[in-house]
Amino acid sequence: MIRGVHTMFYTSQPDELRTFLRDKLKLPFTDVGEGWLIFDLPEAEMGCHPADAEAAPSGTHYISFYCDDVNAAVAELTGRGVQFIDDITDAGYGLITHFVMPGEVKVQLYQPRYRKNSAAPKKAPRPKKQKVTRPSPKPPMRKKSAKAKKAPGRRK
């Protein structure tokens, strides 16, 4: 059954965009040969929104990146040379901004306000109790009982 989503960016600068994704966004990748890099995304989600005749007509695809702390992510990415084209704003569903990748590919970076059901922290499995084997202590020295001792004057 479905186990993931494959996304694509169409750009006039594919080599530069691959380099950007690899070096600036630090996305892990698989080199499938001849310059083609397929980037492994840590997780994905999909939303379905109503079409808007002017802003997003039916059939529009939209890709954005999300993070836990948009301010920290913007600072780190800016340090790597990523160009942001607007300030961080509150869009209701989260804090958003946009940056440009090679080939004039504009993408959104956001910090969602919602928490995914599948992102709930999973309890770590309880470790199995291990049977501890300890060396058995030396048996106590037995004292001879009074009966075992020969008492003077007693005969067998």
Rounded average pLDDT over 81-89: 97
Q: Does residue 48 lie in a domain region? A: no
Across 39-43, 85-89, 143-147, which has the greatest mean pLDDT? 85-89
Give the pLDDT confidence score for residue 98 in this predicted structure: 97
Q: Does residue 8 lie in a domain region? A: no
SS3 142: coil
Number of domains in the chain: 1
Q: Does residue 96 lie in a domain region? A: yes
Rounded average pLDDT over 65-88: 96
What is the separation, in whole angstroms, between the first and last Cα of the chain? 91
Question: What is the domain extent for residue 33?
Answer: 14-41+61-116
**pLDDT tens digits for range 94-139:** 999 999 999 999 999 999 998 877 754 555 555 555 555 555 555 5
What is the CATH number for 77? 3.10.180.10
Question: Which of 47, 35, 34, 37 shows the shortest CA–CA distance to 5?
Answer: 47
Give the pLDDT confidence score for residue 128 in this predicted structure: 55
**pLDDT tens digits for range 12-64:** 999 999 999 999 999 999 999 988 999 998 888 888 889 988 888 998 888 89
CA angle 88, 70, 37 (to 5 degrees): 110
